Structure 1
Amino acid sequence: MCVSAALLLLAAVSRVTVAVTLPPHTYQTPYHAQVWSCREVLATLMEQELLGCSFTIISVHDDFSAALTPFLVALMITHSRPYQVVSVGGGDDVRPAWHSTSCDVYVIVAKRLLVLSDLLDTDDDSWDWQGRYLMFTSSSSANDLQRLAVTYKLQKTTDVLFFIRGTSDSELAVYTHKMYSKRSLKLLTLWRDGGFVKMVDLFPNKVNDLRGQQVRVLAVNHAPSVFSIIDHLGLLHNVSGLDVKVVQGLGRALNFTPVFHDPGADLWGSILPNGTATGMVGQVHTDDSEMGIGNVFLTEVRARYITFTVPFDFERACFITPAPRPLPTWMAVSFPFTLNVWILLVGSVLGLTVLVPVFGAGLMVRDYQELHSLSASFLLILAQFSNQSTRRPARTPMQVLVGFIMMCGFVVSVFYSSNLTAFMMVRAVEQPYTSIRQIVQSELQVGGYSDFWLAIFQGSANQDVRSLSQKFFRFDNVTKFLQSIISRQGVLLENTKHLEYLQKTFLTNRVGESSVRLMLEECINPFGVGVMLKRNSPLKSSADTMIQRMREAGLVDKFFKEVLQEARGPATQLSSNTDVGAEGINPLTLQHIQGVFLVLGGGMCAAMLVLVTEKAVAAGKYCL
C-alpha cells in the first residue's frame, strides 16, 4: 500500500467558501446517483452527528473513488472542516500518518472494501481505536462486509458504518457491526430520497450493551480473588471470589457473559530476557483473551504490554509471620515489671539496706539493736516492700524514714499484685516481628507465589527490602509453606486481603486464636488491584465507569465480606488447638505459679549455702 498523495487543509481555509452544487445529471458516470447519495448522507452526518470533527479521506485508486472523492473534498471546504486526503494504491507498504484529535472521522472510499485488508493489518499503535469509520463502497456485498466486520481491529473499534448500494442506484443500505460476535453485521437503516428511512442512533455506545456476547476472561486461582475448578480443556467451573464478582458485575452492567479460562502454568507471567511476555500478561497482549483477573497488581512493567481498568482495590504487600511464642510460665512472677523496673527495685532495696544502719548510727540516741545490722535492715526493707508489718522504730527520725519506705513499698506491692493477677489470667508472649529489618536479620525464608517480587525487591531504594531478594523462595504448595510458617521457618509476602483470608480461614481456631500474625507495621509498596485488559480495549472506558460506581457504592468491600463468609466453613485444619473448658473456666494451674516455688526453692538453697558457709567458718576457727 502506497501513499501517492496527501493533502492537508486545516482551519486556515475556514473562510474560503466553494459553492459545489452539481446535480446528478451534470456529473454523468456509472456511479453518479450513488455518488450523490454518498455526498448527501455525509453532509447530513456532518451537520447532525459529526460537528467539530476533523476528517481523513482514504481513497483507493479505482473509478468509484475517483468519482466520489472530489465531491467529499468540496464538502469539507464548504463546511470549513479540517481534513486530509490519503490516496492509496500501488504495491509499496507505506502507511499513512494519521493526526489524532478529539474527534476523528475516517472516510474510506473503495469500489471493493476487501482491497483494504492490508490497511487493517497495520500495527496497533497506527490504528485510531477511538475514531469513527465511514466506509463507502459501490460493489462490495454484505458477505464482503461480514468478512471485514469480524477482523480484529474492527471488532475492537466501536464506531464503524458501512454504506453500500441498496435496491437502486440512489439508495444506500447502512450497516454497522456487532462487537465480540462472529455474526457481526447488522442493518441499521436505508438512505432514500435525501433522508434516512428510519431514524436510528448511528453511533450508539455499543460497549454499554454487548447483547449477551461471550467475553473470554483469564483467571488465576488465587484466594480470595478467584476460586475455581479447572477441567482438562482449561475452562474454569464453580467460579467465585472477589475479582470474579467484580467481573460478573461488569458483565451484568455491560450485558456480556464472561467465560473464565485458566492461563496455564505461568500464572500471571513474567518478562523473558528477549522482551516476550508469558502467562496471563502475554496472552492478553496477543489478544488470546480480552481480560485477566486474579489479584492483578497495576505495575509499570506490565503496562508496557497491556492496560488496566481503574483499580477496584488498593493493597499493600505485607507479611504473615509466625505468631509470637508464649513466654516460659516459670517467669510469670517477673512479668508485672520490666527489667529496668526490677533493676531499680533491687538497687533501692540494697541501697536502703545500707542506708538504714548508717542513718541509725548517726542518731544521738540509738534505736533498737536490730536496725543497726545489715541483715536486720535487709529484712526490714524487704518486709516493707512486701507489705508486711514490722516492729515500729522508737526514735522519730527513724520513724520518718521507715514511714516513707512503708509508703513506697505499699505502692510497689499493690502495683505488682494487680499486674501479677492480670498476667496470671492472660498468656504472655514474646515480642512479635514488626519490621522488615527483623525479618532480614532472622533465618526465616520469604515465600511468594511468583518471581514478581524479585523485581520489586531489586528495584527498591530501601536496603532492607533489597536484602529480601537473598531470602526469597518461590513455593509450589501454599499449604506446605503455611505449615513452615507455623513451625517458624518462613514468612509469606502477599497483599493484605489474601493474607487476611488465609489467616481467618485456615490459620485461626474456633476460639479466635491464630497460629500466625499479620505484620502490618511495615509493608512494601502499595499497589492498585484491577482488571487486566488488551491495550486499546474498547471496554476500558465503560469498565472504568462501572468499577468507580462499585467502589462508591461499597460493593467491593461487600464482595470481600461475602467471600470470607462463604469460605469460613471448612476451616482450621492448619491452626493450633487450644484446650478451653466447657464453661470457659480458666483455673490457675501449677504452670501459673511454678515461679513462686522456684523463688522459694532458690531461697532455701541460699539459706543452706549460708548455713554451710557459717559451719565451715566456725569449724576453721575451732581448729585454730
Structure 2
Amino acid sequence: MLFINVLYRKERLKGLFTWRPRIIQSQPLDITAMQSNTPTLHSLQDEAFPTKLFPDKTRNLWGATLNVGTFNFPPAVIYRRENNGSEGHWYGDNIFLAEAVGDVLNFSLRYRRPPAGEFWGKLTVNGSWDGLVGMLARGEADIVLANLFVANVKGRTKFQEYTFPHGQVETCFMVKKPSPLPRWQSVSLPYTLEVWLAVMGVILLAGPLLHTLAYSSVSRDGDKLACRSLPYLSLYTLAMHFRVSQTVLPLRTSLQVFVVFLWVHIIIVTVAYSANLTAFLTVERIPEGITSLKQLYDSKLFVYGIGGPFFADNMAESGNEYVRGLVSRFVPMPSSEIIYSHLMRGRGVHIDALNHLSYVKSLYTDSRGFSTLRIIQECFQPYSVAMGVQSHSPLKRNFNIVINWIFEAGLVSRWFEETLTLVKKYKREDSGSPSETEKSEVEDSSEETISLTMEHLQGLFVILCIGFATAAMFFIVEFFARKKYN
C-alpha cells in the first residue's frame, strides 16, 4: 500500500493506492508462488497506478482546519459577541474573503488572537517578532489577516509572506472637527470679502455717478431727479440696494438707463444674498481646519497609531519631508477608543488606513448625528492589502489563484458594503432604537455651503459696467444735442 503525507491535518498520512499483483495468463502457473502469495518477476505484472504519485496537496485540503491569526480591527475584521453571553462570531470583508477561499480549497478556519497589545507585530530586542508576524514564525497560525499592508518594514518578509493583494487603501490622518463658527457670522458668509468690497464700491460710486449725470442733464424738461443734491442721490442709490421703491423717477434717457441697469444689478445681488443666507442660517458652518500635511506638521500635534511602530517606520521612509518630520511625534496606542479621547481634547491626530478611519468616524457622532471627527484631505501613501502566510508556505500558490478569481469578480467590494450593512444592523439591534441609527446616517452637509465669490458674480458686475457705459453714451448724445440746441 502506498501512503503520502497530508498537510494541515491530524492524521499525517493518507492512503494513495493499494498495490496488488495480478497473474499473467500466458505464462505457466507457478503453484509454489501462488501458495506463498509472493509475486515473481516472470509470472506476475504490477497493476497500473490509477492516480498521480505526486498530487497537488493544497488544491484540496480535505476538510483540514487552518489556524487564522487576527484581531478585532473593523471594518476588515469584526468580532461580535452575542447578547446572551455565548461565543460570538467573526465577520468583515477580510473574514468573508478567508471563508470563500476555504470553501474553494476545502478547509475550515479556527481564529486565534495574538497576545494583548501586540497586534500586527513588531521586532523585539532579541531579533524575534511578536504579534501576527510572530504567530506565523512560531507556527501558531497558518494565515493572518487584519487589513494587512504589503510592506517589508524591518525585514518582516523573512517571517511572513503575502498572498495576491485583494485591495488597496491609503494611509490618512483623522483629527477632531473644529468647533462651528458663531451663528452671528452667518450674515456675512454668503459673500466673500472681495465680493463685499465690490458691492461697497458700487454703493459708494453709484450716488456720485448719478449726481454727475443728473446735474449735467438740467434742462427745461422739469426732471426732478436732476435737481437733487449729492447727499440725496447717494441716499437714493443706497435705498435702492435695500430694494426700497423710489417715488422720484428720472425722465432723461441717460438717467433712465443708468437707474434701470442699477436696479438689475441690485435685484440679482440681493436675491443671491438672500438665497445663500438661508443656507448659512440653516446649516452649521465648520471652519476648514487642517487640510494638508504641511499644516499638520506646523500644528505640532501628536500622531497616534494603533499597535507598534509600523506607521512610524513607514513615515520615516516617506519621500515627503513633512511626513518624515511627524515621526518624532508618533505615539502608539492600544485602541481607537483611547485615541478618540485624546483627539477630542485636541492633542493629536489618528493615523491609519482610510477604510478604518472612515469606520471610526461613523461611530463618533454628536446629538444631531453629525460626526465629531474629520479626515484630513491630503493622505500620504497607498498600500496593497493581502493575507499573510508563513514563509515558504505551500498554501500561497493556490491561495493566489483563488484570491485573484475573487478580486476580478468584484466580490471584495461587495463584501465591504455587506460589512457596513451588518454593522448598522447590529448597532440598531444593540441600541434597540431605529431612530438613533437613522439619525446617525444623516450626512453633515455643512461643507456643501460655500460663499459666493467674484467668479460666481463676475457676470453681474459686467452687466453693471455695460449699463454705466450705455448711460454714458446717452449722456454724451444728450450733451451734444443740448449744446446744438442752445
Q: TM-score, normalised by structure 1?
A: 0.58
Deviation at 1:364, TM superposition (A): 4.9
Q: Counterpart of 2:416? A: 560
Q: Counterpart of 2:12? A: 184
Q: Please state whether the residue corresponding to 2:148 is helix, strand or coil.
A: strand
Q: Counterpart of 1:409? A: 266
Q: Counterpart of 2:52? A: 201
Is the alpha carbon distance of 1:353 and 1:468 closer, same or farther for their aligned partners in structure 2, counting shifts above 3 Å? farther
* Matched residue type, 2:13: L
Is the alpha carbon distance of 1:217 and 1:349 closer, same or farther for their aligned partners in structure 2, counting shifts above 3 Å? same
- Pair 1:537-2:405 in alignment: no
* Matched residue type, 2:232: A
Is the alpha carbon distance of 1:201 and 1:354 closer, same or farther for their aligned partners in structure 2, counting shifts above 3 Å? same
Mapped to 2, the partners of 1:414 and 1:469 lie a distance apart of 51
Is the alpha carbon distance of 1:382 and 1:564 closer, same or farther for their aligned partners in structure 2, counting shifts above 3 Å? same
Greater relative contact order: 1 or 2 (C-alpha under 8 angstroms, separation 6 or more)?
A: 2
Equivalent residues of 1:214, 1:256 under 8 A apart: yes
Q: Counterpart of 2:157? A: 303
Q: Map of 1:119-158 to 2, 5 A cutoff?
A: none
Equivalent residues of 1:393, 1:399 under 8 A apart: yes
Q: Map of 1:266-305 to 2, 5 A cutoff?
A: 266-272=118-124, 275-301=127-153, 302-305=156-159
Deviation at 1:243, TM superposition (A): 1.8
Q: Map of 1:402-481 to 2, 5 A cutoff?
A: 402-450=259-307, 451-481=309-339
Mapped to 2, the partners of 1:177 and 1:369 lie a distance apart of 108
Aligned residue pairs: how many? 399
Same amino acid, percent of matched pairs: 29
Mapped to 1, the partners of 2:108 and 2:134 lie a distance apart of 23
Q: Please state whether the residue corresponding to 1:570 is helix, strand or coil.
A: helix
Deviation at 1:342, TM superposition (A): 0.5
Deviation at 1:177, TM superposition (A): 0.8
Deviations 1:389-445 (A, max 9, x none): 222135443333333222221221222222223333333332254322232233543
Equivalent residues of 1:443, 1:489 under 8 A apart: no
* Matched residue type, 1:284: L
Equivalent residues of 1:357, 1:371 under 8 A apart: no
Deviations 1:153-186 (A, max 9, x none): xxxxxxxxxxxxxxxxxxxx43211112342123
Is the alpha carbon distance of 1:485 and 1:370 closer, same or farther for their aligned partners in structure 2, counting shifts above 3 Å? farther
Higher normalized strand content (fraction of residues): 1
Deviation at 1:272, TM superposition (A): 4.1
* Matched residue type, 1:223: P
* Matched residue type, 2:321: Q
Mapped to 1, the partners of 2:281 and 2:107 lie a distance apart of 61
Mapped to 2, the partners of 1:533 and 1:553 lie a distance apart of 23
Q: Please state whether the residue corresponding to 1:222 is helix, strand or coil.
A: coil
Q: Counterpart of 2:76? A: 225
Equivalent residues of 2:306, 2:335 under 8 A apart: no
Q: Please state whether the residue corresponding to 2:145 is helix, strand or coil.
A: strand
Q: Counterpart of 2:233? A: 377
* Matched residue type, 2:3: Y
* Matched residue type, 2:133: V
* Matched residue type, 1:472: F
Q: Map of 1:26-41 to 2, 5 A cutoff?
A: none
Q: Please state whether the residue corresponding to 2:234 is helix, strand or coil.
A: helix
Mapped to 2, the partners of 1:199 and 1:178 lie a distance apart of 19
Is the alpha carbon distance of 1:245 and 1:203 closer, same or farther for their aligned partners in structure 2, counting shifts above 3 Å? same
Deviations 1:106-139 (A, max 9, x none): xxxxxxxxxxxxxxxxxxxxxxxxxxxxxxxxxx
Q: Counterpart of 1:14? A: none
Deviation at 1:198, TM superposition (A): 4.8
Deviation at 1:358, TM superposition (A): 3.9
Deviation at 1:288, TM superposition (A): 3.2
Mapped to 1, the partners of 2:259 and 2:14 lie a distance apart of 104
Equivalent residues of 1:358, 1:372 under 8 A apart: no
Is the alpha carbon distance of 1:371 and 1:503 closer, same or farther for their aligned partners in structure 2, counting shifts above 3 Å? farther
Q: TM-score, normalised by structure 2?
A: 0.73
- The match for 1:316 among 170, 193, 198 is 170
Deviation at 1:509, TM superposition (A): 6.6
* Matched residue type, 1:276: S
Root mean square deviation, CA, Å: 3.2
Equivalent residues of 2:183, 2:281 under 8 A apart: no
* Matched residue type, 2:280: F
Equivalent residues of 1:322, 1:486 under 8 A apart: yes
Is the alpha carbon distance of 1:459 and 1:383 closer, same or farther for their aligned partners in structure 2, counting shifts above 3 Å? same
Equivalent residues of 1:356, 1:372 under 8 A apart: no
- The match for 2:112 among 253, 258, 261 is 261
